[in-house]
Structure 1
Amino acid sequence: MIELLKKDKKTGKVTFVLKNSTPALANALRRAMMEAVPTMAVDSVEFVQNDGVLYDEMVAHRLGLIPLTTDLKGYDVRKPGDELSAKNSVKLTLKAKGPCTVYAEDLKSKDPKIKPVHPKIPIAKLLKGQEIELMATAVLGVGKEHVKFSPCLAWYTYKPKVTVNNNHKDFEKFREKYPPQVFSNGKIDAKLIEQHNLFEACEGVNDDIVKIEYDPETFIFNIEPWGQLSPAEILACAADHLSNLCDDFVSKLP
């Protein structure tokens, strides 16, 4: 069971709770989100001209790491041996003349659905008289092949349970050991510990005053997307991948 806790509209970061699960399943989901969800990224570059100070290889490397919006319904993952086609790749062109700073937004895509997520990522600086012209090919790939295809950073922790005893005889003795953010009207508030994510700062100071336990079957997940796909798309694709792995395994059983 999954329960959404919060979503940052500005960054797209999502926090949710995964209940009634195991560490093995939680880690499999985390790895699937980062390594098995396909996204678009520049895979090869043909240079027509490059008078800038950056070598062709460096420019190509930068292009590969620019996140591109991804249309999973319109493209297929290219299989080994398959030729490049409109179904598994898209062309992007770049032509600029200095003096200027060349940004990701200067990449012109043949498909308007495939474009840089962050337009102001700098690619190169050109001086007067310098030019750069190239054609890049973007394909679908997964993070297991190369990190440029990874759609997000995903991590999780066990869900903590906080018990506070403000009436303990040693409360005043240990008061200064706790972060000031966890106090409300002179007392430690368990909700403030959770709100400010100060579990580690409070853990182990005095378990009779603040005791933090962890639920081994409940996990707090965080997804920080790079922008190619939404967190919902990432999670759905990861779940489908795990389901397909299980189906494949079962089909091979005697």
Structure 2
Amino acid sequence: MINVERKVESEEEEFKMEIKLLSKDKAKVRVHVKGTTAAEMNTYRRTILDKLPAMAIDTVEFLENSSALYDEMLAHRLGLVVLKTDVESYFIRENCKCKGVGCARCTLDLTLDVEGPCMVYAEQLKSKDPAVIPVHGKTLLVKLLANQKVKLIAHAILSSGNEHIKFSPGIMYYQGYPNIKIADVKSPDAIAGICPTGVFSSDHKKLVIKNKEACTLCMACVDASKGEVEVKGSETEFIVTIEPWGQLTATGMVEGLVDALHEQIDALSEEIKKLK
């Protein structure tokens, strides 16, 4: 007789993942992850890139444009403006009650009305929602000469990288955690100096690992030492970097990742039920 509870507990232990924070700043977060595989890491990477929702300008209505840029060129530049995203306040159009027509629940209007001579920046876009504004205000849109004018209404929507990469809130990338073995190195100073990320230090006699997490597996030390240093990336431990563009925070991206994975698993379960 199989003890179901023990079996579930055993499976939970088997798939238990350990995460340790290595560094965090405004640009990115780096963590050390244990107890997983490259396939699982790649699933997380693709989900962040393709499935997480973010706001971006989708269409532009030009009322006047006498600048040097064609409407299409200026619309393209506007589409790439990174917008701070409030995922709790908006719906993806396909899931909205308006059924994709466009309403205040799924679409946000930003206006621009500028006359030259001047440089026009993203921060000059006026948003109807103060929570959704350009992240990088000094993004240059167009240069206007004297008597040139741009007047437009930009329509921003919530979508994901599956539709267009401009809706992707950032990237995740990973590498195997470095396992480094040092034999009797004949030129420790040279090996320490050749490492581009400062993994090693030397007292002129011995090569010492100073910062293992800084290793990028470039193998410069392996080539230079002719095998005296051995470096290999782990297949069950990884250094993961999450780098947001600005629409969401790194924490928001991780929370969105969990939600997106649950949605995909639920959708798969429903499809499996249809086969029975």
Identify which of 16, 21, 28 aligns with 1:4: 21
Aligned twin of 1:226: 245
- The residue type paired with residue 106 of structure 1 is Q
C-alpha separation in 2, matches of 1:51 and 1:73: 38
Contact 1:103 1:119 in 2 (8 A): yes
Distance in structure 2 (CA, Å) of the matches to 1:111 and 1:27: 35
**Equivalent pair of 1:65/1:148 in contact (CA under 8 Å):** yes
Contact 2:84 2:132 in 1 (8 A): yes
- Equivalent residues, number: 248
Q: Deviations over 1:85-112 (max 9, x none)?
A: 1100100000101010000000000000
1:198 CA drift (Å): 6.3
User: Is 1:238 matched up with 2:257?
Assistant: yes
Q: Spell out structure 1 runs of 4+ moving beyond 2 A.
A: 171-184, 191-200, 203-209, 250-254
Equivalent AA in structure 2 for residue 26 of structure 1: M
Q: Kindly tell me: are residues 184 and 195 of structure 1, through their superposed partners in 2, closer, same or farther at Cα, counting changes over 3 Å?
A: farther
CA contact (8 A) 1:163 1:210 kept: yes
Identity of aligned residues (%): 39
Q: Deviations over 1:158-197 (max 9, x none)?
A: 11111223xx2xx326863553543332232222454364
* TM-score between the two structures when normalised by the length of structure 2: 0.84
Aligned to 1:209: 228
- Larger RCO (CA within 8 A; separation ≥ 6): 1
Contact 1:39-1:149 within 8 A present in 2 as well: yes
Superposition RMSD in Å: 2.0
> Matches of 2:22 and 2:212 in 1, distance apart?
16
Name stretches of at least 5 consecutive residues in structure 1 with no aligned partner: none
State how far apart, in whole Å, the 2-side matches of 1:30 and 1:16 are: 14
Deviation at 1:18, TM superposition (A): 2.3
Higher mean Cα deviation, 110-119 or 184-193? 184-193
Q: Which moved more, 1:202-211 or 1:22-31?
A: 202-211
- For 2:155, the equivalent position in structure 1 comes to 137
Contact 1:14 1:231 survives alignment (8 Å): yes
- Residue equivalent to 1:164: 182
User: 5+ residue gaps in structure 2?
Assistant: 1-16
Shift of 1:241: 1.1
Give the Å deviation of 1:250: 2.5
* Pairing 1:40–2:58 present: no
Q: Report the residue type matching 1:149 in the other structure.
A: F
Query: Aligned letter for 1:55?
Result: Y
Which residue of 2 is the match for residue 69 of structure 1? 84
Q: Which amino acid aligns with 2:92?
A: V
Partner of residue 166, structure 2: 148
* Cα distance in 2 between the residues matched to 1:208 and 1:125: 56
1:21 pairs with one of 24, 33, 36: 36
